[in-house]
Amino acid sequence: MNETDADMGAVTESHGDGARPWTLTAAGGLFWLLATGLAAAGVWGLAQLVTGDVDTASGAIGVALLAWLAALYYWFIGRRLLQRRDVVAQAIFQGLLWLPVGYYLREAAHPVIGLTAWAVAAAILGLALSGPTRRAVAFGERRPFGETE
């Protein structure tokens, strides 16, 4: 948005300049940490296959593949956040998905892991919905249909 000052002439206001807010860096880092954990879970699943601790090989391969695909998606969200791209809605959706995961983990006799999943959900939602993050990625700003950055 451009404004004019009588003494200084044209003054340009820019919203995206400056240092990246810590909330955006923390949100991107959290998604990269989750991606690393999911990639490691996929490797662990294949290690279980090699050691013979699974009943069906196709099931273990399928779970490992899904873990790697989810890791790739979380890596993408973290990367886009660090690039200041507007993926806040996707981050919020992923944060909300951790709520039922925590519930079912708690019901499956894993209360500490379930509480950890809820803490992950709260951290994702808090970081993605914070003011500095939303301003840095221009989340919620109305743009005419078809306008790109």
pLDDT digits (tens, 9 = 90+) for 69-126: 999 999 999 999 999 888 999 999 999 999 999 999 999 989 999 999 999 999 999 9
pLDDT value at residue 14 = 46
At residue 3, φ and ψ (nearest 5 deg) are -130, 155
Q: How many Cα atoms occupy the beta-carbon half-sphere of 95 within 13 Å?
A: 23
Please count the other Cβ atoms lying within 10 Å of the Cβ belonging to residue 67: 20
Cα separation values, 66 from 27, 39, 42, 43, 120, Å:
23, 10, 8, 11, 20
Greater model confidence, 145 or 114: 114
pLDDT at residue 2 greater than cutoff 50 = no
Average pLDDT over residues 12-41: 83
pLDDT value at residue 129 = 92
Strand partners, 11: 3
Q: Which of 117, 136, 105, 99 is nearest to 25 (CA)?
A: 136
> Is the whole-model pTM more than 0.85?
no
pLDDT at residue 41 greater than cutoff 60 = yes
DSSP helix/strand/coil, 3: strand
pLDDT at residue 64 greater than cutoff 50 = yes
Quote the mean pLDDT of the chain. 86
Where are the domains positioned within the chain? 22-136
Greater model confidence, 52 or 120: 120
pLDDT value at residue 71 = 97
